Amino acid sequence: MKLILGFALPLMLGMLFQQVYSLVDTIIVGQFLGVKALAAVGATGSINFLIIGFCLGICSGFALPVAQRFGAKDYNGLRKYVGNSAVLSVIIAIILTALTVLLCRPILNWMQTPPDIIEQSYNYIVVIFAGIPVIILYNLLSSYLRSLGDSVTPVIFLILSACLNIGLDLLFIVTFRMGVFGAAFATVLAQGVSGILCLFYIIKKFEILHLTRSDWELDGSYVRVLITMGLPMGFQYSITAIGSVILQSAVNSLGSIAVASMTAASKISIFVVCPFDALGSTMATYGGQNVGAGRLERLGKGLRSATLLGAIYAVCILVVLIFFGRGLIYLFVSPSETLVVSQAQQFLIINAAFYFALALVNIVRFLIQGMGFSGFAVFAGVFEMAARTLVGLAFVPIFGFTAACFASPAAWIFADIFLIPAYFHVLHKLQKQMGR
């Protein structure tokens, strides 16, 4: 418990500050540019999650064999994995950036983005997609640091970048009047700074990560392992996000007020669930290091400790949102926007009531990935996608915004139904492999 909590707390703080990028954008956009601009940013949320989530998943997956080699004290293999994953990340960044920038407008049209906000939506998301290389830079380097047990340094850099992001937001939006384009530009610049800081820190402080020329040469055996671990984690995010895209399209059809309501509530929700994300990432590293060291008996202990932490936090944050959720919504919109506030509060409370299910999704899924079975996470994503798609296509057209509020809880429950038996299956498989 102490080990997991000690690792997860700074990681959670880093994730909170990473969410500050998006949160501050949304608050400033809502307060200074109005409800339509808020809806424009929110209308891009699911496609943003689809693409950027893929990048985050790839980076996390590429770091898993690094954690395993570190646990096994195989430092030559560790450096080879770092070099090969860096080269693969550059290739992925170039391809993704080109494709997403070119296809951005057709995607927004397909998602039924309301005509009164589509131009602002495009101006925001095209800048985010153009910044994919710096997003990959930070997340890959910070994943390396966490794999070696350092979850504090990435937090420090994110705090500095978050403060920079706030200043740039105010400068570009309030002073230069650059609109939603300025909000996106500030986010990309701030993320780039955190990535460069990580790079300089690794060069100066981590001799174990100083690579030779041979480490940068792609090796088929290393590339196969990286692809096997990285792509499933990337696809896990993307498959999950496909359901979110379909759901977002259904909400878009309800009009810009519904989009603004879901945007405000989602931003708060994403922020308050960061502890669950931190527990998940912690368990990925925990699983990778203990499997690498052959300490399978520690996996169950870690799972129980993380689940207890997740349950305690889920109850606490539900109480907080019941009593203070409306006040948080006022950060994004004026109290005079009564329909937006009412719908956003409904979304918040319904989702918070099912946060323990979300805690289990993150903890069990990432532990399984750390154990070396990333493919199972993809199947969990399929379950989430199916649930959100079902709600978006079958229930939102009939029951409207209320149905959309139950989409994520349904997705979490569907994923848990698959993941919990999957954990015991892969644990048994590892025990047989190691002759336990």
pLDDT at residue 3 greater than cutoff 90: no
pLDDT band for 408, please (50, 70, 90 cuts).
Answer: very high
Report pLDDT for 214. Answer: 92
- Mean pLDDT value across residues 419-428: 94
Mean pLDDT of 351-373: 93
C-alpha to C-alpha distances, 408 to 100, 208, 385, nearest whole angstrom:
26, 41, 10
Q: Is the per-residue pLDDT at 305 higher than 80? A: yes
Digit-coded pLDDT (tens) for 135-189: 999 999 999 998 888 878 888 887 888 888 889 999 999 999 999 999 999 989 9
Residue whose tokens read 């494709």: 99
Angle between helices 297-329 and 274-292 (to 10 degrees): 170
User: Is residue 386 predicted with pLDDT exceeding 70?
Assistant: yes
Burial class of 329 by CB neighbour count within 10 A (0 to 12, 13 to 18, 19+)? buried
Residues found in the chain? 436
pLDDT at position 84: 97
Residues 206-223 have pLDDT tens digits of: 999 999 999 999 999 999
Q: Which tokens is 191 given?
A: 């993320």
Q: 372 pLDDT exceeds 90?
A: no
pLDDT confidence bin for 436, thresholds 50/70/90? low
What is the rounded distance in angstroms from the CA atom of residue 37 to the CA atom of residue 158?
A: 26
Q: What is the pLDDT of residues 317-334, one digit of tens each?
A: 999 999 999 999 998 888
Q: 245-275, pLDDT tens digit by residue?
A: 899 999 999 999 999 999 899 989 988 998 9
- DSSP secondary structure string, 312-376? HHHHHHHHHHHHHHHHHHTTTS-TT-HHHHHHHHHHHHHHHTTHHHHHHHHHHHHHHHHTT-HHH
Query: Does 21 have pLDDT greater than 70?
Result: no
**348, pLDDT greater than 80:** yes
What per-residue confidence (pLDDT) applies to 43? Answer: 87
Inform me whether the pLDDT recorded for 6 exceeds 70: yes
Nearest Cα neighbor of 45 from 358, 273, 243, 266 is 266
Given this model, what pLDDT does residue 18 score? Answer: 64
Q: How confident is the model at residue 107 (pLDDT cuts 50, 70, 90)?
A: very high
> Where does 148-219 have alpha helices with state H?
153-169, 179-205, 213-216
Please state, in angstroms and rounded to a whole number, the distance separating the CA atoms of residues 115 and 101: 20
Q: Considering the chain, what percentage of its residues have pLDDT values greater than 70?
A: 98
Task: Tell me phi and psi for residue 338, to 5 degrees.
Answer: -65, -40
Residue 260 and residue 333 in contact, taking contact as beta carbons nearer than 8 Å: yes
Cα–Cα distance, 145 to 171 (Å, whole number): 32
Range 417-434 average pLDDT: 92
Task: Tell me which DSSP letter residue 201 carries.
Answer: H
Q: For the residues 297-314, what does the mean pLDDT come to?
A: 94
pTM score over 0.95: no
* Model confidence band, residue 132 (pLDDT cutoffs 50, 70, 90): very high
Residue 363 above 70 pLDDT? Answer: yes
What residues contact 92, with CB distance under 8 A and at least 6 apart?
A: 55, 58, 136
Q: What is the pLDDT of residues 23-32, one digit of tens each?
A: 777 788 888 9
pLDDT tens digits, one per residue of 187-202 = 899 899 989 999 999 9
Q: What is the CA radius of gyration of the chain?
A: 21
Look at residue 22 in the predicted model and tell me its pLDDT. Answer: 66
